Structure 1
């Protein structure tokens, strides 16, 4: 007995479908064979009646009212394979070659009624008295005058039915054999599906219990192979994500501990008193900076959480990418100055390179990219920024000559929590947030890097057509830009340098 499950369902469905198909085929087959045999008998008798009429001409000229003419009719119409009966138009038997019925019996079967209407009648049924199944074929013969008779032939169907029974039993035997073969094949087919599923289920159960080192083994094909590969890939990604999460927890713990330690230490120091105003200002300044650092870390994690839940709201408007990049350079100037890193901007000062977007979020994008460039650049190096328009897109690029990223890490660097160098701190969320923000602005971000040679980050955003800018940009352009406030060179022909 097959236990409950997919195996039983598959076998049962195949078995039922094939069984119904076999029953239908065998029924149609037996019906066709029976019809063929019965039609053959009917056609044979009908042909005999038609040919026998040619011999009735001499009889028609004689007196047909006596029994002698009936005997002649029996002789001329006799058929060795069937009993012959001569009936009047009332259905009474006048003569018979071998009586099934009692003498002078009146018959009212359907073949007689059809013969009275001028057709060749046929009736299949049980012979009264004997219970034998017979076929009756009747036809009216008009010999002229009042000499009109019904010629009726009766033939037994027992021999034909016995042959049909043998054929039916043979068909049943063939059907049983086919069902047995189908049963064996369906069980094998079901097992070929169920075994891999059971294996995958067992491995999945182990993974659910935390054993992420197990893998589905076996060279499965088609959908099962895809399922096994997907499960193995999922386990690999979970292990990788867990590792990234552990690294993130370790990193963020360190990142949070450092400013908290500074805040706690200076708070206790200041609380103890006895320090001059200069030391107090230094302590308060450190507390303020470390607090801002903590706020930045928390905001970065909150931004990423909003992006993951599709809750990030953008306040969009006309934004000048040139001004965004200039402001970014001014914001990171002090940090770059500490490492003696030079920032250089190459752009057309007469164009704003406007896009439709959220200025604060786009500034966050460029701040993160330039800050990373400074973080991973050598002292006394250069960082090149450029803004231009190509094919209806604003292209902004940030190129550094820093340590670069290996090909292995480059494909993972935009994954959440991933950090190339844990020594430099951070949450590993910056580039993941940057990519999400760029995509929210219907843009793309491309990173190219070579280990030891530097990294280039290129952002492409849909440009606003000049006619959509209106006079608003002209008014803004007349006001002093960030460059004029900080001594950035204003000659459009020269690259900007901070």
Structure 2
């Protein structure tokens, strides 16, 4: 007995479809073969009745004045095997018959009135005297167009029905054999489907219990193979995500412990007292710096959490892309100076590029990208920032460095959450993941192209604001004046361009 499930449903559906089909075929076959046999018998008696009628007309004309004692000759000439030939008068009385037992009553079956009316009558029914099933065919015997007698052929259908019954039993046996074969085939088919599903279910249950090293074995085809491959891939991704999560927890614990240790140490030191103002100022500066570092780490984690829950709200406005990049460069200038890295800005547009977005969030993206470029660049190198317009009208910012680069093995993973190529470099591994999502919230794209030992280029593409209100000359003078306040450092940022921030 097949237990409940898909296997039983498959077998049951196959069984029902084949059973109904065979049942209909059996009925059609039985009716067809019965009709064929009955029609053959009828046609045989019908043909002989024509010959008998023709003979009678010819014989009767030549013996019109004699008593019809010629019926005996007629019966002998047209008698059929296993068939009774009777000559009836107009009242249905038997005048002559090939059967020695004469009927004691007039025959009034349905074929007789038809013959009296000039047609050929056919009747199938049971003989009143014997109860056996017979077929009767009656044809009028006419003289000068008037029906005088009736030639009636009667044959038993019992032998025919016996043969039909045997054929029916044989066809039922064949149908049962076909049904059994189809059932066995459907069971095999059901097992070929159910066994892989059960295997996949068992492995999935192991995965649900946290055993992610379990894998689905077997070379399954079609949809089952795709399902097995998908579940195996899911398990691999979960293992990878857990590894990344564990590494993140370890990394963030270290990142948090370092500033906390500094804050705790200097707090205890300053609490003990006895320091001159310079030492106190130094200690307070370190505490403030480490506090800001902690705040940055916590804010990065909070930003990522908001993005994951779709809770980050953007304050949309019109942002001058060049001014935003200049502010970013000024914010990271001190860090670049420590490694003697030059920041070069090239604006390839003919007029200010205005994008619609959240200026603070976009600045966060570029700060992260440029900060990474500085972190992984060699000393006394350069970082090239380019603003341009693409053929489709979108604005593009490229940040290119000549740093250590990223290997092809890790290039497609760098924007994954918690992923870090160099775990010794610090950080949470969330910066690029957050930047990617912020850019996507602005309906833009972020791409990374890198070659190990050559450098990395990060491109950020953003849609240009429609109907942007460009600042006039007097209004634009203020930002330029503000940025010129840092012009003393402009030579350090890019000695080759006077207008670079």
**CA shift for structure 1 position 433:** 1.3
Q: Following superposition of structure 1 onto structure 2, how do residues 161-172 of structure 1 map, counting pairs within 5 Å?
A: 161-172=161-172
The corresponding residue for 1:459 is 460
The corresponding residue for 2:479 is 480
User: Structure 2 CA distance, aligned partners of 1:179 and 1:273?
Assistant: 99
The corresponding residue for 1:156 is 156
* 1:235 paired to 2:259: no
User: Structure 2 CA distance, aligned partners of 1:327 and 1:117?
Assistant: 118
Q: Deviations over 1:254-302 (max 9, x none)?
A: 1222223333334444445555554444444433333332232222222
CA contact (8 A) 2:347 2:387 kept: yes
In the superposition, relative to structure 1, how do residues 415 and 79 fare at CA in structure 2: closer, same or farther (>3 Å)? Answer: same
* 1:351 paired to 2:351: yes
User: Structure 1 CA distance, aligned partners of 2:116 and 2:426?
Assistant: 112
| SS of the residue 1:212 aligns to | coil
In the superposition, relative to structure 1, how do residues 387 and 473 fare at CA in structure 2: closer, same or farther (>3 Å)? Answer: farther
The corresponding residue for 1:373 is 373
| SS of the residue 1:340 aligns to | coil
Deviates more, 1:356-365 or 1:53-62: 53-62
**CA shift for structure 1 position 90:** 5.9
CA contact (8 A) 1:342 1:497 kept: no
Q: Deviations over 1:124-146 (max 9, x none)?
A: 22222322221222344443476
**CA shift for structure 1 position 108:** 3.7
In the superposition, relative to structure 1, how do residues 17 and 350 fare at CA in structure 2: closer, same or farther (>3 Å)? Answer: closer
CA contact (8 A) 1:93 1:107 kept: no
The corresponding residue for 1:51 is 51
The corresponding residue for 1:181 is 181
In the superposition, relative to structure 1, how do residues 281 and 139 fare at CA in structure 2: closer, same or farther (>3 Å)? Answer: farther
Deviates more, 1:30-39 or 1:285-294: 285-294
Q: Following superposition of structure 1 onto structure 2, how do residues 182-197 of structure 1 map, counting pairs within 5 Å?
A: 182-197=182-197
The corresponding residue for 1:29 is 29
The corresponding residue for 1:408 is 409
Q: Following superposition of structure 1 onto structure 2, how do residues 277-426 of structure 1 map, counting pairs within 5 Å?
A: 277-348=277-348, 350-391=350-391, 392-426=393-427
In the superposition, relative to structure 1, how do residues 51 and 272 fare at CA in structure 2: closer, same or farther (>3 Å)? Answer: farther
In the superposition, relative to structure 1, how do residues 70 and 479 fare at CA in structure 2: closer, same or farther (>3 Å)? Answer: farther
The corresponding residue for 2:213 is 213
* 1:433 paired to 2:434: yes
In the superposition, relative to structure 1, how do residues 316 and 65 fare at CA in structure 2: closer, same or farther (>3 Å)? Answer: farther
| SS of the residue 2:485 aligns to | helix
Q: Deviations over 1:34-66 (max 9, x none)?
A: 111111111222222233322232455466996
**CA shift for structure 1 position 432:** 1.0
Q: Following superposition of structure 1 onto structure 2, how do residues 43-82 of structure 1 map, counting pairs within 5 Å?
A: 43-58=43-58, 60-61=60-61, 68=69, 74=75, 78-82=79-83
CA contact (8 A) 1:346 1:496 kept: no
Deviates more, 1:237-246 or 1:348-357: 348-357
CA contact (8 A) 1:449 1:455 kept: yes
Deviates more, 1:249-258 or 1:125-134: 125-134
| SS of the residue 1:332 aligns to | helix
Q: Deviations over 1:68-108 (max 9, x none)?
A: 47667656664445223344566555554327873233424
User: Structure 2 CA distance, aligned partners of 1:149 and 1:356?
Assistant: 112
Where structure 1 has 5 or more consecutive residues not aligned to the other structure, the ranges are none
**CA shift for structure 1 position 156:** 1.2
Normalising by the residue count of structure 2, what TM-score does the alignment of the two structures yield? 0.88
| SS of the residue 1:346 aligns to | strand
The corresponding residue for 1:262 is 262
User: Structure 2 CA distance, aligned partners of 1:132 and 1:448?
Assistant: 98
CA contact (8 A) 1:406 1:449 kept: yes
User: Structure 1 CA distance, aligned partners of 2:285 and 2:101?
Assistant: 130
| SS of the residue 1:103 aligns to | coil
User: Structure 2 CA distance, aligned partners of 1:99 and 1:309?
Assistant: 105
In the superposition, relative to structure 1, how do residues 314 and 51 fare at CA in structure 2: closer, same or farther (>3 Å)? Answer: farther
CA contact (8 A) 1:322 1:347 kept: yes
| SS of the residue 2:312 aligns to | coil
User: Structure 2 CA distance, aligned partners of 1:334 and 1:142?
Assistant: 133
* 1:15 paired to 2:15: yes
User: Structure 1 CA distance, aligned partners of 2:292 and 2:48?
Assistant: 117
Q: Deviations over 1:412-453 (max 9, x none)?
A: 111110011122211111111111222222222221112222
Where structure 2 has 5 or more consecutive residues not aligned to the other structure, the ranges are none
The corresponding residue for 1:251 is 251
CA contact (8 A) 1:64 1:147 kept: no
Normalising by the residue count of structure 1, what TM-score does the alignment of the two structures yield? 0.88
**CA shift for structure 1 position 243:** 0.4
| SS of the residue 2:384 aligns to | strand
User: Structure 1 CA distance, aligned partners of 2:93 and 2:268?
Assistant: 134
User: Structure 2 CA distance, aligned partners of 1:264 and 1:293?
Assistant: 14
In the superposition, relative to structure 1, how do residues 198 and 349 fare at CA in structure 2: closer, same or farther (>3 Å)? Answer: closer
